[in-house]
Structures are given as C-alpha cells and as structure tokens.
Amino acid sequence: MVFIRVTISGVSKDYRTVWMKGNSVFMINQPMIPHKFEVVEFECYRDTARAISEMVVRGAGAIGAAGGYALAQAALEAPDDGFLEFVREAEQVINGTRPTAQDLFYATHRVMESVCEVEDVNGARKAAVDEAQRIADENVHAGEMIGKYGVDLIRDKMRVLTHCNAGWLAFVDWGSAIAPVYAAKRCGRNVFVYVDETRPRCQGARLTAWELCNEGVNHAVIADNASGYYMRKGNVDIVIVGADRVACNGDVANKVGTYEKAVLAHENGIPFYVAAPVSTFDLSCRSGDDIPIEERCEDEVLSMFGWSSELSRMVNVRVAPEGSHALNPAFDVTPAKYIKGIITDAGIVKADKKAIGKLF
C-alpha cells in the first residue's frame, strides 16, 4: 500500500481519500490542501452528493467510491415503506453531481444492482454497504496494479509531465497517472515530475505537488502554458495523465487542457500515455463525441482560491474585471490517435476498439 501519509504535530497517520464508517462518509477536504489538512464527515447521502458536486472529493476513482458510499447511505436512510423508490431517487441525485465521471455511474449501478438482488429491506441495506466497500477496495487494488504495469515505462532519471491530479487524492489510494511514478520511486529510480498547475482549480499545483512532497519525489510546478516550452527543449521524456471516461474507440475525456498536452507531445515525438482502470471505460460511448462534458461555474475562472498569509485563512480573490464572463468546461477529449497506450489495472493496451474490446 502507498496510503496518504500525513504528519501533524510530529505524528504520522495513513489515510484513504474517502471511507465509510457507520452511516457516515468521511473525506479528506481537498479544497483546503495543501494549506490545511482536515477530514470532513457527511451523515446523509444528500450531503455526500453535494460534497462530490462541490469537489470536496474529486478524481475519477475517488468520485466513484464516494458515489457508491452515498448510495449505500441512501439505502440506510430509506424507509421500509417505499424503500426501493427512495434509493432509486437517490441514485439519480448522485448521478447528477458529475456528468463526465464514468466511475460514478459504474459505482452507483453496482450498488443499485446489489440492492435489487435482495428481497428483504435489511438485507438490501447490508448488500449496499458491502458492495460500496468492495468498490472502494477494488479501486485501491486497481491503482496498485496500474503502478505495477506502468513502472517499466519510467526509467531512471526520467522526466515525466502530468496534468491535473491523478494520484492518491484522485483514487481511494495509489492513483492512476502518478501510480507508476510512486512505483518507480520505490524501486529506487530517480524521477522528476513537471506538474501542470491546472487552472482553473489548480489541482496540479495544490494536490499533485502536495502528494509528491509527501512521497519525496523531485518535481516543479509549471504554468499550464509552459509545458510546450519544456517539450520543445527536449526536457520531457514521457507524458502520463489520468482519465474520467474512456470511449470504446480509445478517445479519452480528462481535465481540460489534456488535449493540448497530447497534441504538443505528438508534435515533439514524446510518448503520451493515459492511466485508467477498466471501471473508467464506457463501452456505450462509440467515441469521444458521445462523452458529456461538464460545464462548471464561471466563478472558478474569474477568481482564484488560495491561502492568505495575512488573514491566515483561505480566501477567494477575483482576477477578472467586473462585468466579464467566463466559459468553464471541466474536461476535454483527446482523440485516440494521440495516445500511445492506456495503462490499466489489466495491463497496457492500445487506444483502439479492438484492444479495448479484449479487456471486456
């Protein structure tokens, strides 16, 4: 296991990104990182769903696990009379939180199936909780396997570029794109990571950099529009990113800006890999054109959220003129032709329909 190891007041403790205990779901409060570490508790499914929507938890695998737990909470909350209707309504609420994230629908579908397979209400409640926990545990294993399959891509002294956060905090543990980096580091290889800041929410600068600091991996945060500069200079050996949904033809939806990195890598002869578990594949999507792209609040672009040393708290600062508006797609689609391979928990596959079909 890797685990998120956090040291507070000289005491180290290992955490998962999201977990369930009793009727409550617990999460690391990601918007507060790296300036403050705290765990938040959500006692009902609607609050957990709101936390997914507001990105208290984010990242493909972590969203999926949180969604599974939220539906398990709904099963625990549901009255005996009208039990199934209550849970089905909750499923719709949870599924509406992040429309691009395939792992979310994968998790809620599995929990819903487990509920429907048991006739008595108490048995259905237990089945929901058990299935949600199983999904979370599988996500940990998937991240570990992605690391094992991807580690051979990273040689000693290699320079890796990544975009957004696809590490510990994006999964229940281990992560996807950063899992091979962690595995390489633990094999004794010297690895350097270029960390795209990833506007507008800066998940690279805030989350990936924080993770790499904890793991002792050499890295530098760079502006999103600086990656082409380092690629053209020959300073990047490989690009590895995560994914929020993979279509059956190998097209991939990931954090907005990923497409640009793929085109730049192609232009400069740099291998571009996507890391994603099989749970992120959506065989109902024929191509990336079928993937719904989430549009988020314009305030994320018009403002910056960060730590004020003067006030000793997190603050929101507007950076655009009053009266200006913004467009804020959360994801873009990278065509399969730019992807050298997809690192999955079942091995590295080509980004094409035939290879992906063999996974299933």
Q: Show which residues are catalytic.
A: 244
- A 10 A CB-CB count for 134 gives 14
Estimate to the nearest angstrom the gap between the alpha carbon of 3 and the chain centroid.
15
CA gap 69, 46 in Å, rounded: 11
For residue 27, give Cα distances in angstroms to 133, 243, 315: 14, 21, 21
Q: What does the alpha-carbon distance between residue 310 and residue 59 come to, in Å, rounded to a whole number?
A: 31
Inter-residue contact 152 to 119 (CB < 8 Å): no
- CA distances (Å), 80 to each of 76, 85, 87, 121, in order? 10, 10, 11, 6
- Residue 347 is given by DSSP the state E
What the block records as the tokens of 172 is 């229940």
Q: How far is CA 359 from CA 65, 107, 263, 346, in A?
A: 22, 19, 26, 7
Amino acid at 157: K
HEC string for 85-130: HHHHHHHHHHHCCCCCCHHHHHHHHHHHHHHHCCCCHHHHHHHHHH
Q: How is the chain split among helix, strand and coil, in percent rounded to 5?
A: 45, 25, 35
